[in-house]
């Protein structure tokens, strides 16, 4: 950690937090490991083991974590480098624990929490989120075997990064945090799916209701009555009167406008005559 103390402001909240997490994650486990690059405290590399009893069982996956200067107030961006069939490589993953959804991120989450959540999310369907893939189980199993030979230019052979027989149990607090992450992820997916919902049918129902009002009753629309019966005639007359009434109102309005125009013309003419008379007298 000495190289970071000389390079960064150790009084910074983000620097202190990252140095503490680096110390906590210094010892690798059989499921995951993570460490900052020697020249950059805000870029980490990680390796995770594929979850057992899944298409990723036996796979070892390597990636990058890009942390903002405001960490832990803002979430990290997670990028996988190993082909896996669940997430695109060299592309920021869209999860509620990543930079794609800062509104769901909580400062109490850590890099370890993000790794545990990522492992838990791998067997889940992509549901069309950014950076997600939906390979077949057979393709994912083949990629899991190939992943064991992946070599990182910075870290070397990734299978040597994980410890053998060393595990760190998930605490109750971490389990509740991961459950919270999963719950928020479901909310995000539901929200995204909700955006594609068709518009409410209230408008169309209103239009249909309007059409029903304007349409005269017939034998089909009024069961038990003939089309020429009194009820049909009365309804038809009522509708016709409703249709004629606006036309009558329109005629009255036009007549009033004509009267007003004539009155204005008369007043203007009278004023003009008075002015002309005075000019003659002068």
In a domain, 256, yes or no: no
Sheet holding 40-49, edge to edge: 32-37, 40-49, 60-66, 77-80
d(CA 268, CA 263): 9
In a domain, 220, yes or no: no
Instruction: Copy the structure tokens of residue 185.
Output: 């992820």
Shortest CA distance to 76 belongs to which of 49, 112, 51? 112
In a domain, 269, yes or no: no
In a domain, 167, yes or no: yes
In a domain, 120, yes or no: yes
> Assign residue 76 a region: left if phi > 0, alpha if psi is -120 to 50, beta otherwise?
beta
Domain count, the chain: 1
In a domain, 34, yes or no: yes
CATH number of the domain enclosing 97 = 3.10.110.10
Domain extent, residue 38, equals 1-191
Q: What pLDDT shows up at residue 213? A: 37
Q: pTM of the full predicted structure?
A: 0.63
Active site residues per annotation? 94
In a domain, 100, yes or no: yes
In a domain, 263, yes or no: no
pLDDT per 10-residue tile (average), the chain, 282 residues? 84 96 94 96 98 96 97 95 96 82 86 92 81 93 98 94 81 69 55 47 38 39 43 46 49 69 81 76 68
d(CA 238, CA 201): 29
- Look at residue 142 and give its three-state secondary structure: helix
């Amino acid at each position: 950690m000495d190289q970071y103390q000389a390079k960064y402001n150790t009084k910074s909240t983000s620097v202190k937090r990252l140095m503490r997490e680096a110390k906590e994650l210094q010892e690798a486990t059989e499921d995951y490991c993570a460490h900052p690059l020697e020249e950059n405290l805000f870029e980490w590399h990680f390796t995770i083991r594929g979850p057992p009893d899944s298409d990723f069982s036996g796979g070892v996956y390597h990636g990058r974590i890009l942390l903002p200067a405001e960490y832990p107030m803002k979430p990290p961006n997670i990028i996988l480098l190993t082909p896996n069939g669940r997430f695109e490589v060299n592309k920021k993953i869209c999860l509620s624990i990543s930079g794609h959804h800062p509104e769901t991120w909580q400062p109490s989450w850590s890099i370890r929490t993000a790794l545990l959540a990522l492992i838990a999310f791998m067997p889940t369907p992509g549901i069309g989120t950014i950076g997600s893939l939906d390979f077949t189980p057979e393709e994912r199993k083949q990629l899991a075997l190939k992943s064991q030979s992946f070599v990182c230019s910075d870290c070397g052979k990734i299978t040597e990064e994980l410890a053998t027989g060393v595990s760190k149990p998930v605490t109750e607090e971490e389990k509740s945090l991961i459950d919270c992450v999963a719950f928020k992820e479901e909310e995000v997916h539901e929200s995204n799916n909700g955006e594609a919902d068709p518009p409410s049918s209230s408008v169309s129902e209103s239009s249909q209701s309007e059409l029903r009002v304007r349409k005269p009753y017939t034998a089909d629309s009024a069961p038990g009555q003939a089309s020429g019966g009194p009820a049909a005639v009365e309804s038809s007359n009522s509708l016709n009167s409703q249709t004629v009434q606006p036309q009558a109102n329109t005629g009255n309005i036009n007549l009033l406008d004509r009267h007003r125009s004539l009155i204005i013309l008369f007043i203007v003419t009278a004023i003009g005559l008075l002015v002309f008379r005075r000019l003659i007298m002068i």
